[in-house]
Amino acid sequence: MASAHVTCTIVAMNNPDSPIQRPGTGELPHGRPLQTEFDTGLDYPRLGSVTFRRGTLTDNQEALFEEHWPKLGLVLNDEQLDVDSWFGRHAKTVLEIGSGTGTSTAAMAPLEPDTNIIAVELYKPGLAKLLGSVVRANIDNIRMIRGDGVEVLARMIAPESLDGVRIFFPDPWPKARHHKRRIIQSGTLNLIATRLKPGGVLHVATDHADYAEWIDELVNVEPQLTYKGWPWEDAPLLTDRQVITKFEGKGMDKDHVIREYLWEKK
C-alpha cells in the first residue's frame, strides 16, 4: 500500500505561454487536459479524450466574472495555495470537488461561517452561477478554482492542510469502459488522505447504485482513512448538505437511493 507521501511527476505544465497559467481569465486550454503522472502504483481517474464542456455566460455573468473572479477565483496552476492569504484569515478549510452550479456550496457555507470553502469545478457556467450566488448573498467564505479536482489536489494543495474534502454526486461514468474515469479510485483516496489533516473528513454522496457498489468495494482500501459510515453524529464538520442539489433532485425523481459515505483521516 502506498505511503502517506505521494510522489508525482508534473508533466507539460511549465510552459509560460500555456493558457492554463493565465491569471484572472477563468479559461482553460482546449482539448485533452494535462494530467499528473503518479508513481504510487494505485489507480487514478483518467480523463482520456474528454474535453471541457463549453457554455455561454449571460452579459450579467460576464460582468460579475470580470469584476469578482480575480479576487475569488483561480485557474489550475502549479503554485501551492496560501489559503490564509487568500481568505484573509486562518480557519478550517474544506475542498469541494465538482461543485457544479454551487447549489449545495452556497447553501452550506453560511451555516459554517468559520470554515473556508474552496469549490473546484471544470465547467465555467457552473462557477459563474456560484459566483453570482456568492456576490448576491455576500458570502465571504467561498473561493473557487477552475480545474480537475485530482490535479488541484496534486498541484495546489499542501500535504495535511485540509480539514475536509467533499465530493457530492460525481459523474458515475456508467459504461464499464469508462469506469477508469470515476474520481473515486484507490489513488484518489490516497491523494485525499495525504492532503487531509489528522482528524480531517472525506464526505462522498452518490445516487447511482452501480457507483455506490464501486465505492463499497473501496471504503477500506486506504489505510490512512477510517471509514465512519453514515450518519456520523460526532463528525467535526457539517455533513448535512441542507438542500437538494440539481442532480440529487433528478435522482429522487427517479426513486434513486442516495448513499453517503464518511471517512476520517487517522
CA distance 230 to 218: 15
Tell me what pLDDT residue 23 has: 44
What is the pLDDT averaged over residues 43-53? 67
Nearest to 240 by CA among 257, 260, 254: 260
Q: Which amino acid is at 80?
A: Q
The pLDDT tens digits of the residues spanning 168-197 come to: 999 999 999 999 999 999 999 999 999 999
Query: Is 30 a residue whose pLDDT tops 90?
Result: no
CA distance 148 to 115: 22
Tell me what pLDDT residue 14 has: 38
Residues flagged as binding site for substrate: 175, 207, 245-248
Query: Is 119 a residue whose pLDDT tops 90?
Result: yes
Tell me what pLDDT residue 1 has: 44
Tell me what pLDDT residue 7 has: 56
Mean pLDDT of the residues in the chain: 87
Tell me what pLDDT residue 247 has: 54
Tell me what pLDDT residue 9 has: 52
Residues flagged as binding site for S-adenosyl-L-methionine: 96, 121, 148, 171
Q: CB within 8 A of 199, min separation 6: which ones? A: 163, 236, 264, 265
| Residue that wins the pLDDT comparison between 14 and 129 | 129
CB count within 10 Å of CB 132 equals 20
What is the pLDDT averaged over residues 157-172? 97
Write out the three cell numbers for 72.
Answer: 475569488
pTM of the model: 0.88
Q: Which of 17, 43, 84, 171 is catalytic?
A: 171
Note whether 196 and 160 are within 8 A (CB).
Answer: yes
The pLDDT tens digits of the residues spanning 61-85 come to: 999 999 999 999 999 999 999 999 9
Tell me what pLDDT residue 26 has: 83
The pLDDT tens digits of the residues spanning 202-217 come to: 999 999 999 999 999 9
The pLDDT tens digits of the residues spanning 7-28 come to: 555 444 434 343 333 444 688 7
Asked if 43 is an active-site residue, the reply is no
Nearest to 167 by CA among 266, 44, 55, 259: 259
Estimate the crossing angle of helix 59-72 against helix 124-136, to 10 degrees: 80
Q: Which structural domains are found in the chain, ordered by start?
A: 8-265 (3.40.50.150)
